[in-house]
């Protein structure tokens, strides 16, 4: 794992990150169990190890963390119901339905579907038959219909261009960290990017090929100076990566100007994370997702604005472009949205609908 910074504190941050990565819940997904199929084609141990390594890396770490908790819930349910261990993997459809319905009337349908997805992933890792079918789909639909209103999460409010203007006004642009924060905010917003595609989870290190380096910011491609930022790893494309288009803007939140300021102040290098910055000791450290959000929300809280999450930047950028009249197909392509999924996150339909549908035929 490449290093960013060279201090004892950074070492401890990296060690904590590594401990999290090797502890439960990952253990469920890296050990072959008694339910694994027998009678398969015989292959060498080296080939078998390569296969297992590939399967284990099919899911993002954040996904495995969620799956681990859900799998603990499934195994706990089996313990309470005295289900023999040999009947848990592979699980028959009756057991899957019983587990899915075990908290009907208490949880959201999406929670139940996520738990079943975790159990399915567990079966895949252990090469066990998956028996979920029509009855399971109807069970999950019933759980959805029985979900209490309290289980439904409020829509995450978007970040707005006005909120970026507040950051521009109140951050100290001569401070290396603030310069990095503002550049990352503008890029996440106008580039419709997920924070995990831009920022490291650890201050002292980063995963190779997971976040953009200085060299991933391409030279200006238009007369206005708009640029492409190569995202080496994304949620939908994985290690194939995708390009984020950062277009020049007129207002204070112009990502091109914010990046230029950040690159100059922090002396961003081609082989180091794009959003690294100098700390008070002069060491180069990665801007982490947590520190980024903490700083943004600190500024917004002083202005009476409720806390925003990382995804608020992506959906905020999408909404802002739509409100500006950009063709939805262009917005979808720029945001690297799969199919029409991005329509779920349109947060200002009260403004979008009149923009496109008022005075038709007049």
Q: What is the CATH number of the domain that holds 214?
A: 1.10.443.10
Using N-to-C axis directions, what is the helix angle for 134-146 and 93-101, rounded to 10°? 10
Average pLDDT over residues 152-158: 76
Q: Is residue 11 part of a domain?
A: no
pLDDT, position 362: 55
How many domains are contained in the chain?
2
The owner of tokens 């090469």 is 127
For residue 351, pLDDT beyond 80: no
Instruction: Out of 151, 172, 197, pick the residue that ends a domain.
Output: 151
pLDDT, position 56: 79
Q: Is residue 237 part of a domain?
A: yes
Q: Is residue 9 part of a domain?
A: no
Mean pLDDT computed over every residue of the chain: 85
pLDDT tens column, 68-107 = 899 999 999 999 999 999 999 899 999 999 999 999 999 9
pLDDT tens column, 49-64 = 898 888 878 887 778 8
Strands 276-278 and 242-246 come out as: unpaired
Does 204 lie in the same domain as 113?
no
Does 200 lie in the same domain as 250?
yes
Does 179 lie in the same domain as 296?
yes
Does 182 lie in the same domain as 81?
no
Strands (E), 204-278: 227-231, 242-246, 276-278
Does 233 lie in the same domain as 120?
no
Q: Is residue 116 part of a domain?
A: yes
Q: Is residue 6 part of a domain?
A: no
- Sign of the C-alpha dihedral computed for residues 116, 60, 54 and 45 taken in this order: negative
Host H or E run for residue 177: helix 176-190
Does 28 lie in the same domain as 173?
no
pLDDT band of residue 209 (cuts 50, 70, 90) is confident
Taking the model in full, what pTM does it have?
Answer: 0.74
Does 145 lie in the same domain as 165?
no
Instruction: Work out the percent of the chain whose per-residue pLDDT is above 90.
Output: 59
Does 119 lie in the same domain as 54?
yes
Nearest by Cα to 299 from 190, 153, 169, 117 = 169
Average pLDDT over residues 333-353: 73
Count other Cβ atoms within 10 Å, centred on residue 211: 24
Least confident range from 95-99, 154-158, 162-166, 170-174: namely 154-158
Does 325 lie in the same domain as 181?
yes
86: exposed, middle or buried (C-beta count within 10 Å: 0-12, 13-18, 19+)?
exposed
Does 213 lie in the same domain as 131?
no
Range of the domain at 115: 18-33+44-151
Does 28 lie in the same domain as 50?
yes
Strands 284-286 and 227-231 come out as: unpaired
For residue 26, pLDDT beyond 70: no
């Amino acid at each position: 794992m490449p290093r960013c910074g060279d201090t004892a504190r950074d070492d401890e941050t990296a060690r904590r990150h590594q401990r999290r990565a090797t502890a439960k819940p990952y253990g469920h997904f890296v050990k072959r169990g008694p339910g694994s199929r027998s009678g398969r084609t015989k292959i060498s141990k080296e080939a078998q190890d390569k296969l297992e390594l590939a399967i284990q890396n099919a899911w993002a770490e954040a996904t495995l963390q969620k799956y681990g908790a859900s799998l603990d819930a499934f195994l706990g349910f089996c313990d309470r119901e005295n289900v023999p261990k040999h009947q848990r993997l592979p699980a028959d459809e009756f057991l899957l339905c019983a587990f899915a319905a075990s908290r009907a009337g208490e949880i959201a349908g999406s929670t139940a579907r996520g738990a079943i997805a975790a159990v399915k992933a567990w079966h895949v890792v252990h090469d066990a038959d998956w028996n979920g079918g029509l009855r399971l789909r109807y069970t999950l639909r019933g759980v959805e219909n029985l979900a209490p209103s309290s289980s439904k999460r409020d829509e995450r409010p978007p970040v707005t261009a006005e909120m970026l203007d507040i950051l521009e006004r109140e951050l100290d642009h001569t401070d290396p960290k603030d310069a990095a924060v503002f550049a990352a905010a503008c890029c996440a917003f106008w580039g419709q990017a997920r924070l995990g595609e831009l920022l490291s989870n650890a201050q002292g290190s980063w995963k190779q090929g997971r976040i953009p380096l200085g060299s991933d910011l391409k030279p200006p491609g238009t007369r206005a100076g708009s640029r492409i930022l190569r995202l080496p790893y994304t949620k939908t494309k994985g290690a194939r990566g995708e390009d984020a288009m950062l277009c020049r803007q007129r207002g204070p939140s112009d990502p091109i100007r914010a990046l230029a300021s950040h690159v100059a102040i922090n002396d961003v290098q081609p082989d180091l994370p794009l959003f690294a910055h100098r700390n008070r000791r002069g060491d180069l450290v990665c801007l982490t997702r947590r520190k980024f959000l903490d700083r943004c929300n600190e500024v917004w809280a002083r202005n009476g604005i409720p806390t925003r999450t990382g995804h608020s930047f992506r959906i905020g950028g999408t909404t802002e472009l739509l409100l500006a009249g950009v063709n939805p197909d262009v917005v979808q392509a720029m945001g690297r949205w799969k199919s029409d999924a991005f329509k779920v996150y349109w947060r200002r339909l009260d403004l979008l609908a009149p923009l496109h549908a008022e005075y038709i035929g007049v």
